[in-house]
Amino acid sequence: MMAWLSIRFTNQPQRWAIAPAALMAFAAVFLLAWPGSVKHDSVNWIWPPVLLVLVVWMVIRIRQDLHSRTAAVLLYPLFAVLALAAIGGAYEIARERIDDGKYDMPGQLVDVGDHRLHLHCTGSGTPAVILEAGLGEPSTMMEGWIAPDVAKDTRVCAYDRAGRGWSEDASGPQDGVAVATDLHTLLHNGGIEGPYVLAGHSAGGAYVQNFANLYPDEVAGVVLLDSMSPNQYEGVPSWPGFYRMWVRASALAPSLSRLGTLRVVEQFSFGTLPSEQRNKERAFWSTARHWRSQRDEFHTLKTTLREARELKTLGAKPLIVVTAVKGAEDGWMPLQDDLAKLSTNSVHRVLADADHASLTEEEGAATKSAQAIRDVVLSVRTTKPLVQ
């Protein structure tokens, strides 16, 4: 626009602007034709210095060829934004490389078909507990407070869903059935014997419900930590609007993360986790890869919840539903009551002093989450009914 308008309507034609316009157009066509290129180090390392050099060159040309207030009012602020994007992008790439060498994978990668998933188990005993993290979460969240506590009593395993944490990417977005199938294959190929006690937080509870529906013989007990309900879209009035908003917002997050923007934001997150897990969480949540994974997960969430409706009952298998009261949306509590009806041997524990995130992030509330898991393990071992 600058090149064409200045040539057509002014006495200061800026023909040099054709060069950056052509370069940016080429980059756009390249990314559209080969979107996977953003995952390659060669592309990631090239664009920040190229953009910064381009900005410097444009500033020089503007100072030489344009003598009007347009430069100060419009162009220099734009160039400043582009320069900050280049610097932020270079910083983000460097930090990701540092983090790759800083945080070793604690478990193992297990082949589940066309990709491998990270599985980390600690403790000993049966039944094994499988921890399913919430929406967008890597395994490090569940390994902060909950896994070490549960490992005192039995074997406990946390894992990363595809595209998350140390796990490899799947071939495409995964719904609840795909995630449950992945987990089933992971546990069998990883040598973890069932039946299992499954514990899921938030959206992780929906994945647990899908697993219980698909593989009922491999489920000994269930713990739902402020779990999403299969009927959440209809039962929580604020949910549809939030879902539509976040679907749009999540599409922008991978691009913002490449500029280092989200790394700055995440430095103030997860402060109540143990230091090791806190730092890992911040490192994972700062990357474009993580946000691509969360974006895809959120886009398939409606399907995941619809699939979870197929679970009609757990029979008499022990089930504890833990619900946080603080910040609960209208309609949330009745849906939590409905989840507790999935088993004839169930307990619904309502925590007035906890919110949704604190059940895994904060030591006090997370201890109560771990206690619920240990209580289900004990009920499975002794075959005695649960107590409040």
* Predicted pLDDT at 62: 87
Residue with tokens 């100060």: 72
pLDDT at 381: 97
Amino acid making up residue 59: V
Q: In 10 A of CB 282, how many CB atoms?
A: 21
Please, are residues 167 and 115 in contact by the beta-carbon 8 Å criterion?
A: yes
Name which of 367, 369, 348, 354 is nearest 324 in CA terms: 354
Q: What mean pLDDT is predicted for residues 263-280?
A: 92
Q: Where are the beta strands (DSSP E) in the chain?
A: 108-111, 116-122, 129-132, 156-159, 196-201, 219-225, 319-326, 346-355
Task: Please give the Cα distance from 146 to 136 (Å, whole number).
Answer: 18
pLDDT band at 45 (very low <50, low <70, confident <90, very high): confident
Q: Is the pLDDT confidence value at 41 over 70? A: no
- Cα 160 from Cα 155, distance rounded (Å): 17
Is the Cα dihedral 102, 108, 111, 117 positive or negative? Answer: negative
- State how far the Cα of 73 lies from the Cα of 382, in Å rounded to an integer: 75
Q: For the chain, first and last CA: distance in Å?
A: 69
Helix 41-65 and helix 18-33, axial crossing angle in degrees, nearest 10: 160
Type of residue found at 86: A
pLDDT reading at 35 higher than 80: no
* CA–CA dist 240, 245 (Å, integer): 9
SS3 breakdown of the chain: % helix, strand, coil, rounded to 5? Answer: 55, 15, 30
Nearest Cα to Cα of residue 318 among 196, 206, 230: 196
* Least confident range of 7-21, 28-42, 360-374: 28-42
Structure tokens at 127: 């039944």
Beta-bridged to residue 370, according to DSSP, are none
Q: Helix or strand or coil: residue 49? A: helix
Rounded to two decimals, what is the model's pTM? Answer: 0.89
pLDDT band per the 50, 70, 90 thresholds, residue 347: very high
pLDDT tens-place string over residues 81-100? 999 999 999 999 899 888 88
- List pLDDT tens digits, range 310-336: 999 999 999 999 999 999 999 999 999
C-alpha 288 chain-centroid distance: 11
pLDDT of residue 133: 97
306 within 8 A of 233, measured Cβ to Cβ: no
pLDDT at 6: 82
> What is residue 367's predicted lDDT score, i.e. its pLDDT?
97
Average confidence score pLDDT of the chain: 93
pLDDT at 13: 86
Q: Beta-carbon neighbour count of residue 388 at 10 Å?
A: 7
pLDDT in tens, 128-144: 999 999 999 999 999 99
Digit-coded pLDDT (tens) for 237-258? 999 999 999 888 888 998 899 8
Q: Poorest-confidence range of 44-58, 158-172, 176-190? A: 44-58
pLDDT at 12: 85
Q: Inform me whether the pLDDT recorded for 46 exceeds 90.
A: no
Q: Per the structure block, which two tokens stand in for 137?
A: 């979460």
The yes-or-no verdict on residue 65 having pLDDT over 90 is no
Give the pairing of strands 219-225 and 319-326: parallel
Query: By percentage, how much of the chain surpasses pLDDT 90?
Result: 76
What the block records as the tokens of 386 is 């649960």
Which amino acid belongs to residue 264? V
Q: In this predicted structure, what is the pLDDT of residue 10?
A: 83
Residue 288 CB contacts under 8 Å (≥ 6 apart), including other chains: 38, 254, 255, 257, 258
Coil vs helix vs strand at 156: strand
